[in-house]
Amino acid sequence: MRESKSQQLVFHVILILVALAMIVPLLLLFMSSITDENTLVSDGYSLFPAKLSLGAYTYITTNSSTIFRAYGITILVTAIGTAAGLIVTALMSFSLSIRDLPGQSVISFLVFFYDAVQRRPRSFIHHVDGLRRRQYDLGVRAAVHADQRF
């Protein structure tokens, strides 16, 4: 089935808008990196800054040891957290795979109960609680402003 010219035009416009939605933030980020710091503070972010400066890049090159140390700490914390989570998960799954393990049903219950409490019902409870709060807020607002309606 061949699309008409108008359908192609609509699809092209949509794709151009999606591409701009992805490119403009990156361009704004780059332009803010070459904008003078005082101009950025006073005028805010702009695609066409009033004053350009490479101060951010000179800061990175002159203070590279601080930045590399920060990246090193970030990578180390991420690696340790990932390894710890993987080890705990592997040990737990191995122990739960043994059929004759004493207390397997208790451990299994605790794992599934924790998962159920932490994820699914909690979001539902918060959603229902949020609806109740909104209804209460609307009721309070209606009661407070009831005398102003008449």
Could you report the per-residue pLDDT of 28-62, keeping only the tens digit for each?
Answer: 999 999 998 888 888 888 889 889 999 889 988 89
- Has residue 142 got a pLDDT over 70? no
Let me know: does 49 contact 39? Beta carbons within 8 Å.
Answer: yes
In the prediction, which pLDDT does 113 show? Answer: 76
C-alpha separations of 132 from 63, 97, 105, 127, 140 in Å? 52, 43, 37, 9, 12
Q: Where are the alpha helices (DSSP H) in 44-119?
A: 55-62, 64-97, 104-118
Residue of 111, 81, 116 lying closest to 95 (CA atoms): 111
Min mean pLDDT across 5-9, 87-91, 120-124 is at: 120-124
- Supply the mean pLDDT for the chain: 80
